[in-house]
């Protein structure tokens, strides 16, 4: 029997808007992030959801709370759904990373599947961790619908699997918006069918991606 996954990226968090690398660093949602999370919850209002899982970091759990309230479900935290562990990159301004770690940053920007963060995880290690977590959830909840609230790099890596691509093709997979929604069916033996990806129609006027010009100006200030 299939397991349906409704995967939600957390709402806009402090690291997103302040342009600071937050992997395992436990930051909070912004005010806009809570609005985005509520809009995602409203979008999912009529979806049948049996369980809600979240990474154990505050920005994902806070996003999941909006969905849990509408669906009247409890949230189960799983550390295996965490963002990549940045090690030395944690809580460092994005604008400073190219100078501090030029080689690794170059991989991150141009061939992310090969990036291994100093004193942290490699993207491939993170991928294997999250892949295993999804497999466990799929087997545990066969025939049910599971909402998973997780992180941007996690979703981007898993999209390789969901699209039937090797992780080496991760650079071809785009980043999805905060509070965007991706829907996948787990069939069997780690086979998935991608139903919808990166849904963000509910974010019109509040999308974090709409602030990208501002991000560039902020990065220039941080340098």
> How many other C-beta atoms are found inside a 10 Å radius of the C-beta of residue 183?
18
Q: Are 199 and 181 in contact (CB under 8 A)?
A: yes
- List the beta bridge partners of residue 182: 7
**10: annotated active-site residue:** yes
Q: Are 50 and 141 in contact (CB under 8 A)?
A: yes
Q: How far is 130 from 84, CA to CA, in rounded Å?
A: 10
10, 25, 66, 141: which one is catalytic?
10
**151: annotated active-site residue:** yes
Name the 3-class secondary structure at 8.
strand
| Rg, Å, the chain Cα set | 17
Q: In terms of DSSP H, where are the helices of the chain?
A: 14-18, 31-43, 58-71, 97-100, 102-110, 123-140, 152-163, 212-222
22, 24, 141, 151: which one is catalytic?
151
Indicate the pairing of strand 3-9 with strand 181-188: antiparallel
Which positions are catalytic? Answer: 10, 151
């Amino acid at each position: 029997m299939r397991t349906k996954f409704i995967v939600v990226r957390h709402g806009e968090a402090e690291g997103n808007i302040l342009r600071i690398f937050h992997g395992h660093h436990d930051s909070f949602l912004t005010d806009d992030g809570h609005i985005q999370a509520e809009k995602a919850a409203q979008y999912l209002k009529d979806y049948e959801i049996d369980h809600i899982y979240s990474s154990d970091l505050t920005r994902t759990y806070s996003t999941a709370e909006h969905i849990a309230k509408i669906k009247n479900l409890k949230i189960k935290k799983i550390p295996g759904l965490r963002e990549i562990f940045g090690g030395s990159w944690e809580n460092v301004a994005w604008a400073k990373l190219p100078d501090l770690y030029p080689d690794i940053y170059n991989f991150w920007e141009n061939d992310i599947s090969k990036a291994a963060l100093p004193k942290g995880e490699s993207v491939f290690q993170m991928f294997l961790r999250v892949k295993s977590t999804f497999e466990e959830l799929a087997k545990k909840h066969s025939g049910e619908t599971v909402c998973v609230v997780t992180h941007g790099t996690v979703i981007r890596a898993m999209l390789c699997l969901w699209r039937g691509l090797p992780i080496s093709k991760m650079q071809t997979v785009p980043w999805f918006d905060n509070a965007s929604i991706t829907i996948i069916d787990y069939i069997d033996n780690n086979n998935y069918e991608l139903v919808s990806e990166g849904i963000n129609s509910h974010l019109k006027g509040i999308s974090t991606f709409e602030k990208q010009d501002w991000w560039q100006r902020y990065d220039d200030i941080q340098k």
